[in-house]
Amino acid sequence: MRKFVVFGCAAALVLFASASAFAGGSKEQGNAAGGQIVLATNNAPEGNGIAQALRQWGQMKGIKVEIVDAPYSNIYEKEVLDLSQGTGLYDIVLLDDPWFTQFAENKWLTNLTPYFTAMGQGGLSSDFIDKSQAICKYPYASGLIYAFPAVGNAQMFFFRKDILAQYNLPTGPATWDDVYNVGKKISDSGGGNLYGYALRGQQGNPVVADFMPLFWSFGAKMFSDDFTQVTLNTPQALNAVNFLAKLVSIAPPGSASFDADQLAQYELEGNVAMMINWPAFAASFSDPTKSKVVGKVGYSAIPSEATIGSSEIGNWLAAIPAAAKNKQGAFDFLQWATSASEQKDMALKFGNPPTRKSVFADADLLAQPQFSYFPVLAQAMGNSTPRPRIANWNEVENTFGIYLSKVVAGTMSPQDALAGAQTDITALMKKAGYIK
C-alpha cells in the first residue's frame, strides 16, 4: 500500500509541475499576443507573398510577427486542427478556396462585416473582382464576409500560338471540338514528340480540377442548385466524360499520373500544343533559361461547347479564425496586404496574380512580358465558376476523382464511372445531411 501512496504522490508532483510549466507558457503567449500576429500559410509563392508582406507590416508597426508555414498537402490539416479545437494559435489563416465552405459552415472564421462597418465601409472594396468577392462570403455571394481574396487564380487555356496558327486558330480554339480535331492532327503528325493536348489525370484533386471546365462547357452540373440532388446521371455529364476519354487518346502516354507541374514541363520542352493550367506557370514560359517556347505560348478563355466555357476559380483567401487573439491587428494587416499597391508589389516580387481589377489593368505590369496573360486571367476570373459550395467537397472531389482516374487510365467506361460516382456521391451527400 505504501508504495502506491509514494508512487501516487510522485506522479501528482510530476503532473503539477508539468501543468504549471504549461500554464506559465500560455500566460506568456497571452501577453505577447497584444500586438503579435501569427500567420498560417502554405510555403509556395502565394503564401510567401503574404508572409513577406506580414514581415514588412511588423517592421512598419513595430510588432512581433510569426509565420507558420507548411507545404500545400499539410497546411489544410494544420489549419483544421487549430480551427476545430479553437486554440487561437493563428491570427490569420491563408486558405485555398475549396476549404472555405467547411471553415465558414463550422463557424471557425470571424465574421468581418462588423470590422468593415467600424471603418465606415460597406464591405470588400468594389475594386475586387466580383467572383473573388463572392467566394469570400458565406452563403456564397449573398452572405456575410469571412475572408479577403488575397491571391487571384483561375485556370486559363494555354496554347502554342505558332502551331495553332498553322491550323488557322491564331487566337486559340473556340470550342472543345476544335481542341480535339486540331489536337488529333497535331498528335498524329507529332511522332511522339509533339502532342495536341495534355491533361492532368492524377487521381484526386488534379483530375477533377482539370475536368470541371470541360464538364461545365458541356452544360453539365454536379448538383442541383440547392445540393439536394446529384446530377451526374445526365446526358450532358456523359457527353463530357466521353469527350474526356477522347482527349486522353490524343494526350501523352502516362496522363493518368500527370499533375500541373508535369503539364508545365511538357509545355516548357515544347512537346504539347494545348492544355488547361494555372497562371502560376505562365512566367516560366517566357524565361529563356527554362523554356524552349519563349514568346510562343498564348492564353485564352476556356473553350465553349454546349455553353460558354468557364474556368474553375481557385483564389487563395485570407481569413481570421474565430478564436484568434489579435483580430483587429489581423484585420488591419489584411486591409493593407490586399490593397492595390501591395498586390502590385506581390505580383512583381512573387508573380502572384492579383484579385483587384485596377491591378490587372496596371500599365506598368502590362508592359512586362511575364504579365502578358493578365487580361486573359482577369476575364477568366470574371467568368469563372466556383467549386460546389459544400463542406464535404474534399471527400466528394476525391470520390469523383477516383472514377475520373479510372476513365483516364482506361479501366472503366464513362457510363460505369458516372453511375458509380452518382451512387457514391449521393451517399456522401446523405451522410453530410445535404440530401435527406
- Residues of this chain that bind other proteins (CB under 8 A): 2-3, 6-7, 10-11, 13-15, 73, 76-77, 80, 84, 102, 105-106, 201-204, 252-258, 262, 265-266, 269, 271, 391-392, 394-395, 398, 402, 405-406, 408-412, 432-433
Distances (CA, A) of 239 to 219, 259, 306, 424: 9, 24, 10, 20
Question: What's the min distance (Å) between Cβ of 388 and other proteins?
Answer: 14
CB of 187 to other proteins, least distance (A): 14
Q: Minimum Å distance from CB 340 to other proteins? A: 35
- The secondary structure element, H or E, covering residue 213 is helix 205-217
> Which residues 6+ apart lie within 8 Å of 181 measured at CB?
none
Burial profile 92-101: b = 16 or more Cβ within 10 angstroms, e = fewer: bbbbbbbbbb
User: Omega before 139 cis (within 30°)?
Assistant: yes
- Give the residue with the Cβ less far from other proteins, 2 or 225: 2
Q: Please say which residue, 131 or 200, places its beta carbon nearer to other proteins.
A: 200
Which positions ≥6 away from 211 have C-beta within 8 Å? 240, 244, 404
Minimum Å gap between C-beta 432 and other proteins is 6
Task: Report, in Å, the least distance between residue 139 CB and other proteins.
Answer: 13
Name the residue nearer to other proteins (CB basis): 300 or 392: 392
Q: Which is nearer to other proteins, 160 or 406 (CB)?
A: 406
- Residues facing 96 on adjacent strands: 316
For residue 80, the surrounding DSSP H or E stretch is: helix 72-85
Query: How far, in Å, CA of 345 to CA of 354, rounded?
Result: 10
Q: Closer to other proteins at the Cβ: 111 or 335?
A: 111
Nearer to other proteins, 190 or 219 (CB): 190
427: Cα separation from own chain's centroid: 26
What phi, psi does 222 have (nearest 5°)? -80, -35
Amino acid identity, position 111:
N
Cβ of residue 283: shortest distance to other proteins, in angstroms? 21
Query: Residue 85 or 307: which CB sits closer to other proteins?
Result: 85
Q: What minimum distance in Å lies between the beta carbon of 364 and other proteins?
A: 37
